[in-house]
Amino acid sequence: MSSPKPKNTQTMKPVTAAKKLGVPLSATPAEFQAGVVSRDELNRLQSTPPAWLTDLRRNGPHTKQVIAAKLKVSVAGLIRNGVTGPLTTAEIEALKAENPEWLERERALQIEVRKEALRLKQR
């Protein structure tokens, strides 16, 4: 009988791990940016996030996907209106409070897109 082959550890670049964690790579600690991240490490970061990750998720800066979700608009809507970089939670809250005309328009558009998607799904 032959012995089982050792299992290869699956790794990813820091940029990929940051995307999976939903945070911008530039906001992560230097040691995270410098190394590779194993699948086990990523799972640990997701299940028991360290203080730096918890703080990033709470206060930002946030990725476009997170910003869009918090503002209830699409990523394309953000880009159309000049929001191309990361925003902090405080900046997102300020935008919500200000409620500019473009934000109202993009939210209405997003509602229509979702209604149409639901209508097509029900067909």
pLDDT tens digits for 69-112?
A: 999 999 999 999 999 989 999 999 999 999 999 999 999 999 99
CB 42 within 8 A of CB 72: no
Which residues, 6+ apart, have CB-to-CB distance to 112 below 8 Å?
Answer: none
Report which of 88, 66, 90, 89 is spatially closest to residue 78, judged by C-alpha positions: 66
Across-strand partners of 38?
Answer: 11
- The pLDDT tens digits of the residues spanning 12-56 come to 999 999 999 989 999 999 999 998 999 999 999 999 999 999 999
pTM greater than 0.75 (yes/no) = yes
CA dist 88 and 62 (Å) reads 6
Q: Domain coordinates of the chain in residue numbers?
A: 9-59, 62-123
CA dist 19 and 27 (Å) reads 12
